Amino acid sequence: MSGRGGNPLWRFAGVRPAAALFFAYLYLPIVILIVLSFNANRTVTIWTGLTTDWYVEVLSNGDILRAARNSLIVAFSATFIATVAGTLAALGMARGRFRGEAAVNGVMGLPLVVPEIVTAVATLLFFILVGIKLGLLTVIIGHTVFCTPFAYLPIRARLEGMDPSLREAASDLYADAWRAFRRVTLPLLWPGILSGALLAFIISLDDFVITYFVAGAGATTLPVYIFGMIRIGVTPEVNALSSLMLLVSILFVSLSFLVQRQR
């Protein structure tokens, strides 16, 4: 990027068009979705003029607002539990080497690689076997499971980058374990915790597959609601609602990024 030479790859013909094509493929649909969410015409393919009516309609739709409320309840609960669990896990893992550490580390990240549909079916099966009635609680439990590794990883990374002599210095300066944690470890860990929490939050907010399986009646979240709307057809309300969710996601990712960067 810097200087006259730049990336040597630019020498090859076709690198630029390929990159352009890739990004177009990735983002053009999203741009179109956002543009169409302002289209005054109900038919998607015909542009008649600019309007914000669909947004008004979305924000005054009781079902959508209920789904949004559910989404937020689930996201906040799952994020909270996952972040606390992730922080404790990271602190525990950083305490020292132990037998089977690699295995524990692997198991911790497993939810990231297990196909979501498998987790979804397994979770549903588990709830049925145990006899828990499907509802908002089961969604929260399900989300907590896959949010935990997302919360854990940034916290662990932050902790790993922390100079172990800082804790020793605190202890040397008359701070017992709890005060050393509160005054030194926690403030330094805070950006990691926050960015882990934000990551967990958007992952939860976006989730469809697991939610679709384990959400009982009245526990519909926004992604599930959008899926229901799509079955009837892609309406401008869907576009508007999707755009709003995109906005929230971008907001949270940016926040997470900013928090991660600051020391």
Partner 1 sequence: MPQANAIDIRDITKVFGQGAEAVHALDHVSLAIREGEFFTLLGPSGCGKTTLLRLLAGFEQPTAGVIGLYGDDLAGLPPFRRPVNTVFQNYALFPHMTVAGNVAFGLEMQRWRRGDIERRVEEVLSLVKLAGYGQRKPAQLSGGQQQRVALARALANRPKVLLLDEPLSALDLKLRKEMQIELKRLQVETGITFVFVTHDQEEALTMSDRLAVMQDGKVLQVGTPAEIYERPTRRFVADFIGDTNFLQGVLGRAANGEIQIKLDVGGMVTTRHAEAHTEGERVTLAVRPERVDLEPVNAEAGEDTGRLRGVVETVVYFGTDTSYRINIDSLPEPVLVRVQNRQGAASPFASGDSVRLRIPPEAVQVLVD
Residues within the interface to partner 1 (CB under 8 A):
163, 165-166, 168-176, 179-180, 183-184, 187-188, 263
Q: Which is nearer to partner 1, 194 or 240 (CB)?
A: 194
In whole angstroms, give the CA distance from residue 159 to residue 8. 36
Cα radius of gyration (the chain): 23
CB closer to partner 1 out of 69 and 179:
179
CB of 262 to partner 1, least distance (A): 11
- The residue (of 159 and 200) whose beta carbon lies closer to partner 1 is 159
Strand partners, 255: none
Tokens of 125: 């099966």
Minimum CB distance to partner 1, residue 153 (Å)? 22
Residue with smaller CB distance to partner 1, 16 or 179: 179
Q: Nearest approach, Cβ of 249 to partner 1 (angstroms)?
A: 30
Least Cβ distance, residue 195 to partner 1 (angstroms): 16
Distance CA 193, CA 88 (A): 11
Query: Is the alpha carbon torsion for 119, 220, 256, 141 positive or negative?
Result: negative
Of 112, 252, 147, 111, the closest CA to residue 195 belongs to 252
